[in-house]
Amino acid sequence: MIFKKDIIDKIEIDFGTNSIEAGKMLESAILETGYLQTERIIRCIIFLSKGNLTQLDKYINAAVFDPRDVMFWAEYENHNNFEKTKRLRDFNNIFEKSEINIKD
């Protein structure tokens, strides 16, 4: 899979010297599990990983099990209180435009 520019840039910024390894981990997971091949899921995994390869592996595995989990964790706050759950991000958009303006 060829990643979009915002995804490549975010991997390089967040993972630094480990960016090549992070890219390989993502590509391998996508090849093994085709339904991970969406930019939204990939952005969510990268966002949650915060530049840590161990966390990247954790969130890749979580997405393989159920990609809705990583989308929920990355895009919403108050995960433990569904009455107060609020969407903050939309990773269908590039990283720079993923923040959502939500009125209370």
pLDDT at 6 over 70: yes
- Distance, CA of 24 to CA of 86 (rounded, Å): 33
What pLDDT digit, counting tens, does each position of 24-80 carry?
999 999 999 988 999 999 999 999 999 999 999 999 999 999 999 999 999 998 777
pLDDT, residue 82, reads: 73
Write down the pTM of the prediction: 0.90
Residue 31 Cα distances to 1, 2, 19, 39, angstroms: 8, 12, 18, 14
CA distance 60 to 64: 6
User: Taking Cα atoms as reference points, which of 99, 5, 15, 9 lies closest to residue 57?
Assistant: 15
Question: H helices of the chain, where?
Answer: 5-15, 19-32, 39-49, 53-65, 67-75
Predicted confidence (pLDDT) at residue 104 exceeds the cutoff of 60: no
Please state the domain extents for the chain. Answer: 5-97
The candidate with the shortest Cα–Cα distance to 27, out of 48, 9, 11, is: 11
pLDDT at 73: 95
